[in-house]
Structure 1
Amino acid sequence: MSGLREPDLGPIVGHMTSTCCRIWIRGIAPEDHGADLAAAMRTVGLVVLVDAVGRPLDIDQQPLAGGPDARPFAYYFRLRREFDRTGTFMFGEETALGLEGLDNAEPIAGAALRVGPVGQPAGPLPLTPDTSYRVRVATLTLDDTTPDLERMSDAQLAQRLPNIAVMARLVTELDPERCEACFSTFAAPDDEPSSLAFLLGSCRYPGVLWKTKEADRIFAPMARQLIGSDATAALPRPRFTLLVGDQIYADKYSRFVPVDRAETFSDFQSRYHEAFDAPNLRRMLRHAPTYMILDDHEIEDNWHRDRLATKRGLFTTAISAYMSYQWSHGPRTFGRHLYYHFTSGGYPFFVCDTRTQRTYQRAGTVLDNHLLGRPSIDPLFDSQLEIVKRWLSRQQAEHGAVPKFVVSPTVFAPSPIDERLDPALDGRGALAPPDLARTNLAHRADSDSWSGFPATRKALLEHIVAGGIDNVIFLSGDVHCANIAQMRFDGLHRGERVALHLYDVTSSALYWPFPWADGDPNNFVHDSELPGQVDGFPLFDGRLTMHYRAYGFYQAENFCRLDVDRARARLRVRVFDRNGRLARVGDEAGRLSDYNSLKLSPW
């Protein structure tokens, strides 16, 4: 057995509730060589609740006493080879490793008071809502002669581990910069605050040669905001970060250029190590929850599932790495599906997978393109689209106009200007109604944006309108240019005007050193009703049209801070540059402003 080590990567503070928090790490064994993991060695994680100077606490959150009867607030957990020696522990919810080997006849209410295997608390110790905690995480390695085809049970594994009180005391000797995580649980559901702040970002290009350190720069001010140690300290501290795609670039140059292009698991592992071991990002990830979702560059540029016919091996390798390094510390709401939802401060979030289920089906048409999987035809098997629609309806029914955040890594609006629904592009009059099947088909048929998936867009918008679902805010990335789109509806639905509030807030890119390649604000529609920008989206057989105005463009590296203000029924959006300075951007009237304040319906 090896001694206690800091994690190879992590800790990452993942999914959070009011009473628990998921902690992620990756371990390493002495005989590992990259993705070639030593079969004769097993790694185990250790998580310990500690005080402000790193000393272990007991189950009553008091300093851990000496002696054989000490009861640390600590647990062992598995780091699995099939997940590249990564693992998570749901602190406050999971029970002791090996508990299934005990007599569980005693009621669960008393489980935490019993001694589990090797001195662990036998049951979960729930955390307190809206409370700050500090943990240290470590790994240890065991010799393992179990054949690969056989599984060692948790109870068998626990029998081979040392008393946890002994190991918990050793965490004080570890480097806190590489093993310590700090977090604050969310407020209790019946005591939700009226405000909420969080950070939003996407697209971390890794950089090349001496520029690799530039890719990590922006995460220093993001970490300072999460910790509350910068100029924004007077504002409410952000509760979490959303990273909405392209956390790695598997194809550093191009999917068509066979240079530095990830193809093997070792290649993908290297991409994640380069990103998650960068000092500023590593610090940010261990100081507040981070929710992640993939986009194309976690696999390859503009990925869609039609490529599975020729690139299934690439897809399975990329997704295996993604699930080990990103998906595993998320909520896992729908089993092994990549999309999920969570709630923070009483505000609901649905995080869509707009990448792995998209399909173009047939060349030369757009009406059979689907972004969130094919629509459901079997009532027993819902598509992602149906799940999102039902989630929106439930939030409106149960919580009224409470803002509903829908993460769509692909930008919902604005459209790229060359993909607009402008009848004039087909030689028809500017006032002619757009035809979703034919208008500007040459540019939309294989588009990577929502404009190439009108059936999905139409189904979602018509569901929002028909259900009176108010205060829907899409959160997006991908396009290497921050902006805000404010949508509205012209026409009548059931004889009445539609006065719903609908926005898309985009933050991109965290690092992208090629501004001449894409992201130019002039390449996006700014006003869908102006000549040369016409992009109205018809709904309900043309009786209603969705129009939008886009503003607040910022092309340089950036992240966004969003503040929900219930008292004023506003969503305030601030853009920060790579040094953490507030960026002045255009407001709805075209004036430079420190922030944009989006009007919402009261709730």
Structure 2
Amino acid sequence: MVETAAAPGPDQMEQGESLIGLYMPQSASPYAFDVPLHEWPPAEQVLVLLLYVQAEGIGGLARLPRLPDLAGQTPDVFDTGPHAQKAPDEAVQAVRDALEADTLDDLRGGLIIGDPGKLRRSYDRKNGSRPTQIRFALASCQYPSDFLDHMPNGEHATRGPADASLLALADLLGESGAPTLLLLAGDQVYIDATAGLFDPKVTDDRFRMAYERRGQSRGVMAVTQRLNLVVETMLDDHEIRDNWANDPDPKMRGKDTDFKAGTQAYLKYQRGKTGRLPAHLWRNFTHDGVPFFLSDTRTEREGRTALNCHKAKIMGPKQFDELCAWLTKPEYAELPKFVLTPSAILPRRREVAGHSSCALHSDAWDGYPRSFHALLKFLCDKEVERVVFLSGDEHLCNVVTARVTNCITEKQCTLHSVHSSGLYAPYPFANGVPDNFQADETFLFPNSMSGPYCCEVRTSFVSGDGFALIAADRSQSGWHLNVGFYGASGLKENGSFPRELG
């Protein structure tokens, strides 16, 4: 049960009379519920207070169980005794007490920003118009904070390093032309933050506590508790275990408790879904009329050994086929197409570029050459244009422009890749550096000695924590892409990269 109140200012928390309405969960999940926007209070800020249902005597306000439907009564019949009669009054008093006694710091976790009546999109398909622009943010890798680097609860407290990037993004959300979509490319939590040294030993605690810790972050609250920002996520390895991959031994698959617990925690805390695992995690959607495909390059990857690494796939055949079909949809032909892939497609790691036998040492697409080459081949043969791959994981900003050519048919395609740095990646030994990658190269595939495909790669790097702001605009000459890499202090030096999409 949720009570909503028009949020008062920091000096007006005593206005308990601002109670507006009562909303009950409509979703099958107990962790998510939908409130139609037209029913949402028309206010710039709304405070949501959760009233927990507890057994009598446990603490707080108790609510008696429903009576059994034995005599034709509806299941909504409640006990009418003294407890039930005074329960509504006590509930109202509990809300009033919270608004009168608690500060904004205490209540911030329930503060929702944004007036539904002022939500605007640049594209309205109802009037037959075509998309002309898109604004969104890309981020990845939020290492957890501790008492040394988190931001205190005080309203005007100094920003802690762990929250600085997300708070900088929150500052931009109130400006003109702000992004209306945030893509999180994985590693939103680190289940293995201390490599097992101080991590909880009970499986449920390891996942639950990591997500609860994330939810209490000032930066996460500032960005995600907004009506004017859609947040879409995909998981990567640290939601499960560092460098997780399926066991190469088929007999051991299905016995990995970390995989099941990690995937269920991701679905529960990031997507509001509980129960049995779905058939797949990948999905696609449109935002402002522009198509996005969120691919799963983690849970479907095949286990690798030195004997099979050149045949192993980074995603299942059904997902790969769906991605290819999506890339060639006629209605998307003239639009930019954004593919979120937590594992970077380019640039290749230097050791892999040096010798293909090193593929086993890469966790990205170049470590799965069968899938890597098949995707580049498909894009080239179908001459797919205006494709932008989005990724995270390496803790290093980069922008890639690549041209793939079939040396026999002379078919070509140009693709772009944007890789966001970590939002907070404090350990240098875990962060990628430009020297780890073959920034500019030309390579042949399916093997290094012959084509018939040739891929020319050009890469630009930017260092430091932060996120990417991506804008695509359409003019008479075609679509134009602009990528800006931001840190806690704003746009990074030499952090803006324009590209032509055609």
Which category of TM-score, normalised to the shorter sequence, fits these structures? 0.7 to 0.9
Deviations 1:463-486 (A, max 9, x none): 222333211100000001000111
For 2:134, the equivalent position in structure 1 comes to 196
Determine the C-alpha separation between the residues in 2 that align with 1:342 and 1:452.
Answer: 28
Give 5+ residue unaligned stretches, structure 1: 1-43, 55-64, 94-124, 148-154, 376-382, 426-439, 530-534, 586-593
Amino acid at match of 1:356: T
Determine the C-alpha separation between the residues in 1 that align with 2:120 and 2:201.
Answer: 37
Question: Do structure 1's residue 596 and structure 2's residue 492 form an aligned pair?
Answer: no
Which of 475, 493, 496 is residue 390 of structure 2 equivalent to? 475
Which of 292, 295, 302 is residue 233 of structure 2 equivalent to? 292
Which of 273, 279, 304 is residue 218 of structure 2 equivalent to? 279
Q: Per-residue deviation at 1:314? A: 1.8
**Mapped contact 1:360–1:369 kept (Cα < 8 A):** yes
Amino acid at match of 2:136: F
**Mapped contact 1:359–1:370 kept (Cα < 8 A):** yes
For 2:365, the equivalent position in structure 1 comes to 450
Amino acid at match of 2:348: S
For 2:262, the equivalent position in structure 1 comes to 318
Q: 1:134 to 1:367 in 2, by over 3 A?
A: same
Determine the C-alpha separation between the residues in 1 that align with 2:489 and 2:211.
Answer: 24
**Mapped contact 1:74–1:168 kept (Cα < 8 A):** no
For 1:346, the equivalent position in structure 2 comes to 289
Q: Per-residue deviation at 1:170? A: 5.5
Q: Per-residue deviation at 1:489? A: 1.7
For 1:105, the equivalent position in structure 2 comes to none
Which of 110, 120, 125 is residue 179 of structure 1 equivalent to? 110
Determine the C-alpha separation between the residues in 2 that align with 1:163 and 1:77.
Answer: 18
Cα RMSD of the aligned pairs, angstroms, is 3.7
Q: Per-residue deviation at 1:386? A: 1.4
Deviations 1:40-70 (A, max 9, x none): xxxx3x265858979xxxxxxxxxx99xxx9
Determine the C-alpha separation between the residues in 1 that align with 2:34 and 2:362.
Answer: 40
Determine the C-alpha separation between the residues in 2 that align with 1:132 and 1:463.
Answer: 49
For 1:463, the equivalent position in structure 2 comes to 378
Deviations 1:333-375 (A, max 9, x none): x9553212221111111111111111135542323211112x2
Determine the C-alpha separation between the residues in 1 that align with 2:47 and 2:311.
Answer: 50
Q: 1:598 to 1:158 in 2, by over 3 A?
A: farther
Amino acid at match of 1:314: D
Determine the C-alpha separation between the residues in 1 that align with 2:384 and 2:429.
Answer: 39
Q: Per-residue deviation at 1:258? A: 4.2
Identity of aligned pairs, percent?
Answer: 26
Amino acid at match of 1:542: G
Q: 1:357 to 1:133 in 2, by over 3 A?
A: farther
> When the two structures are aligned, how many residues end up with a matched partner?
442
For 2:439, the equivalent position in structure 1 comes to 526
Q: Per-residue deviation at 1:158? A: 9.0
Determine the C-alpha separation between the residues in 1 that align with 2:6 and 2:445.
Answer: 55
**Mapped contact 1:341–1:349 kept (Cα < 8 A):** yes
Q: Per-residue deviation at 1:89? A: 2.2
Determine the C-alpha separation between the residues in 2 that align with 1:220 and 1:156.
Answer: 46
**Mapped contact 1:404–1:471 kept (Cα < 8 A):** yes
Moved more, 278-287 or 515-524: 515-524
Question: Do structure 1's residue 550 and structure 2's residue 424 form an aligned pair?
Answer: no
For 1:101, the equivalent position in structure 2 comes to none
SS in 1 for 2:370: helix
**Mapped contact 1:327–1:338 kept (Cα < 8 A):** no
Amino acid at match of 1:557: D
Q: Matches of residues 97-496 of structure 1 in structure 2 within 5 Å?
A: 135-143=46-54, 156=75, 173=99, 175=104, 177-183=108-114, 184=119, 186=121, 187-190=123-126, 191=129, 194-212=132-150, 213-228=160-175, 233=176, 236-254=177-195, 257-260=196-199, 264-287=203-226, 288-306=229-247, 309=253, 312-328=256-272, 337-373=280-316, 375=317, 383-394=318-329, 397-420=330-353, 422=354, 425=355, 440-441=356-357, 443-492=358-407, 495-496=409-410
Determine the C-alpha separation between the residues in 2 that align with 1:474 and 1:168.
Answer: 52
Amino acid at match of 2:370: A
**Mapped contact 1:536–1:547 kept (Cα < 8 A):** no
Determine the C-alpha separation between the residues in 2 that align with 1:491 and 1:193.
Answer: 32
**Mapped contact 2:192–2:238 kept (Cα < 8 A):** yes
Question: Do structure 1's residue 90 and structure 2's residue 29 form an aligned pair?
Answer: no
Amino acid at match of 1:349: F
Q: 1:366 to 1:259 in 2, by over 3 A?
A: same
**Mapped contact 1:223–1:284 kept (Cα < 8 A):** yes
Determine the C-alpha separation between the residues in 1 that align with 2:396 and 2:339.
Answer: 19
Determine the C-alpha separation between the residues in 2 that align with 1:324 and 1:463.
Answer: 35
Determine the C-alpha separation between the residues in 2 that align with 1:357 and 1:272.
Answer: 23
Moved more, 168-177 or 277-286: 168-177
Determine the C-alpha separation between the residues in 1 that align with 2:395 and 2:332.
Answer: 34
Determine the C-alpha separation between the residues in 2 that align with 1:359 and 1:264.
Answer: 24
Q: 1:48 to 1:156 in 2, by over 3 A?
A: farther
